Amino acid sequence: MAGRGGKTLSITPELLIKAYASGIFPMAEAADDPQIFWVDPTERGVLPLDGLHLSRSLRKTIRQKRFAVTVDTAFAAVVDGCAEPAPGRDKTWINRQIRDLYVALFHEGFAHSVECWQNETLVGGLYGVSINGAFFGESMFSRATDASKVALAFLCERLIRGGYLLLDTQFITGHLTHFGAIEIDRDDYQQRLQEALAVASTFYPSGAGTSESVLQLFSQTS
């Protein structure tokens, strides 16, 4: 259950970074709602990086290299993909202001995307915010089977090799529980957040980002 503060019409990228570091994040009621509200869930979704699970079928998809996976090459397009209606999701919480804010964070180096391509067409991906050793996953989308799952696996490999401690998923979905996501209370989350913010990390670790490196890493950790 989410705790909400008052709505606001103006948020700067600097304020947004401070909000994440405090454990809150913004949402809109709908894409056509110009207002934004702050969310501070009493129960928070996280994906423990030391407990990530890759299914046998997903490992096969990665091994077969069905997708070309890139990082930070189509950030705005990924956000737009996440804002599209999808099966089971008729509305989106990504309005124009939220889109513009995260694109600004991307240009400042605080936001990143992982993209999946087929025949040079973007078919899936995810994006989120990075502060020190914490990565705050915002949204993902898929136009091809397993595209968002592959993007998540590649993200997790990058975070582990880069020294991150926390992958915040905000909420729990069936999609995420298959990877090992859990729900923790606000106090536990705050402790993990502060520990993650106190460490240095890199989103571009050496040797990350190939099908072979992903499978090699998770053959050791799964």
Alpha carbon distances (Å) from 7 to 3, 45, 75: 12, 23, 26
Residue 92, pLDDT above cutoff 80: no
How do the residues of the chain divide into helix, strand and coil, expressed in percent and rounded to 5? 35, 25, 35
Neighbouring CB atoms inside 10 A of 111's CB total 24
Q: For 42-89+110-221, CATH number?
A: 3.40.630.70
Residue where the block lists tokens 């915010």: 129
In this model, does residue 157 exceed pLDDT 90? yes
11-27 pLDDT per residue, tens = 899 999 999 999 999 88
Query: What is the value of pTM for the model shown?
Result: 0.91
Percentage of the chain modeled with pLDDT above 70: 90
What is the pLDDT confidence band of residue 3, given thresholds at 50, 70 and 90?
Answer: very low
b/e 189-216 (16+ beta carbons within 10 angstroms → b): beebbeebeeeebebebeebbebebbbe
* CA dist., res. 65 & res. 71, Å (int): 16
Instruction: Name the band, by pLDDT with cuts 50, 70 and 90, for residue 45.
Output: very high
Question: How far apart are alpha carbons 39 and 81 in whole angstroms?
Answer: 22
Cα separation, 188 vs 209, whole angstroms = 31
- State the average pLDDT for the chain: 90
Q: Where are the domains of the chain?
A: 42-89+110-221
Question: What does the pLDDT read at residue 4?
Answer: 45
Query: pLDDT class for 139, splitting at 50, 70, 90?
Result: very high
Token pair, residue 180, equals 């090992």
Q: Give the per-residue pLDDT at 31.
A: 64
pLDDT tier for residue 1 given thresholds of 50, 70 and 90 = very low
Contact between 167 and 159 under an 8 Å Cβ cutoff? The reply is yes
